[in-house]
Amino acid sequence: MTDPWAALAEYHRKTANRRILSLFDDKARFADFSAETDGLLLDYSKTNIDRDGLKLLLDLARATGVLARRDRMFQGDAINETEDRAALHTALRSRSDQPVMIEGRDVLPPLRLMRKRMYAFAEDLRSGRLKTAGGGLFRNVVNIGIGGSDLGPRMAVQALAPYHDGPRLHFVANIDGAEISDILKPLDPGQTLIVIASKTFTTVETMTNAGTAIAWLRRAMGEQATRHLAAVSSALDRTAALGIDPAQVFAFEDWVGGRYSLWGPVGLPIVLAIGAKNFDGFLDGAAAMDRHFLTADPERNLPLLLGLTGIWHNNICGFQTRAILPYDQRLARLPAYLQQLEMESNGKCVALDGSPLVRDSAPVVWGEPGTGGQHAFYQLLHQGTRIVPAEFLIAATGHEADLAHHHNLLKANCLAQSEALMRGRDRAAAEAIAAGLGYQGAELSRQAAHRVFPGNRPSLTLAYRQLTPFVLGQIIALYEHRVFVEGAVWGINSFDQWGVELGKKLADEILLMLNRDKIDTNRDSSTLGLLGWLGGKE
Identify the CATH number of the domain in which residue 113 sits: 3.40.50.10490
- In which band, very low, low, confident or very high, does the pLDDT at 253 lie, cut at 50, 70 and 90? confident
Contact assessment for residue 467 and residue 39, using Cβ atoms and an 8 Å cutoff: no
Best CA proximity match to 8, nearest among 46, 68, 64? 64
Phi, psi of 25 (to 5 degrees): -60, -25
Last residue of a domain, one of 250, 276, 302: 276
pLDDT at 538 over 60: no
E strand or H helix at 152:
helix 151-159
pLDDT at 537 over 80: no
Residues comprising the chain, all counted: 538
pLDDT of residue 536: 53
Best CA proximity match to 459, nearest among 325, 369, 302? 325
Active site residue 36: no
Task: Quickly list DSSP for 64-87.
Answer: TTHHHHHHHHHHT---BTTTTB--
Q: Tell me if 484 is assigned to some domain.
A: no
Q: Tell me if 417 is assigned to some domain.
A: no
pLDDT of residue 18: 98
- In which band, very low, low, confident or very high, does the pLDDT at 478 lie, cut at 50, 70 and 90? very high
Active site residue 504: yes
Structurally, the chain folds into a number of domains equal to 2
Q: Tell me if 287 is assigned to some domain.
A: no
Q: Tell me if 93 is assigned to some domain.
A: no
pLDDT tens readout for residues 263-273: 999 999 999 99
Portion of the chain with pLDDT greater than 70, in percent: 99
Please classify residue 403 by burial: count the beta carbons closer than 10 Å to its beta carbon, then call 0-12 exposed, 13-18 middle and 19+ buried: exposed
Q: Tell me if 128 is assigned to some domain.
A: yes
Contact assessment for residue 74 and residue 294, using Cβ atoms and an 8 Å cutoff: yes
Last residue of a domain, one of 248, 276, 304: 276
Per annotation, catalytic residue among 205, 253, 342, 344: 344
Best CA proximity match to 270, nearest among 196, 416, 167? 167
Rounded Cα–Cα distance for residues 57 and 74 (Å): 23
For the packed helices 66-75 and 469-490, what is the interaxial angle rounded to 10 degrees? 120
pLDDT tens readout for residues 366-401: 999 999 999 999 999 999 999 999 999 999 999 999
Q: Tell me if 324 is assigned to some domain.
A: no
Phi, psi of 446 (to 5 degrees): -65, -45
Largest pairwise CA distance in the chain: 82
Distance of CA 68 to the CA centre of its chain: 25
pLDDT of residue 372: 96
Active site residue 199: no
Last residue of a domain, one of 246, 276, 306: 276
Task: Quickly list DSSP for 167-224.
Answer: SEEEEE--SSHHHHHHHHTTS-GGGEEEEEE-SSS--HHHHHHHHHHHHHHHHHHGGG
Report the pLDDT averaged over residues 40-47: 98
Rounded Cα–Cα distance for residues 514 and 528 (Å): 10
Q: Tell me if 271 is assigned to some domain.
A: yes
Task: Give the DSSP letter of residue 341.
Answer: I
pTM for the full predicted model: 0.96
pLDDT at 515 over 90: no
Rg of the chain, C-alpha, whole Å: 26
pLDDT tens readout for residues 405-442: 999 999 999 999 999 999 999 999 999 999 999 999 99
354: left (phi over 0), alpha (psi -120 to 50) or beta: left
pLDDT tens readout for residues 86-104: 999 999 999 988 899 898 8
Q: Tell me if 123 is assigned to some domain.
A: yes
Report helix, strand or coil for 459: strand
Per annotation, catalytic residue among 375, 405, 450, 505: 375
Per annotation, catalytic residue among 116, 277, 504, 537: 504
Structural domain containing residue 517: 501-534
Report the pLDDT averaged over residues 315-326: 98
Strands 459-464 and 390-395: parallel
Rounded Cα–Cα distance for residues 52 and 60 (Å): 13
pLDDT of residue 532: 86
Contact assessment for residue 501 and residue 352, using Cβ atoms and an 8 Å cutoff: no
Rounded Cα–Cα distance for residues 22 and 25 (Å): 6
E strand or H helix at 416:
helix 404-423
Sheet holding 229-232, edge to edge: 168-172, 140-144, 192-197, 229-232, 249-250
Report helix, strand or coil for 33: coil
Distance of CA 21 to the CA centre of its chain: 31
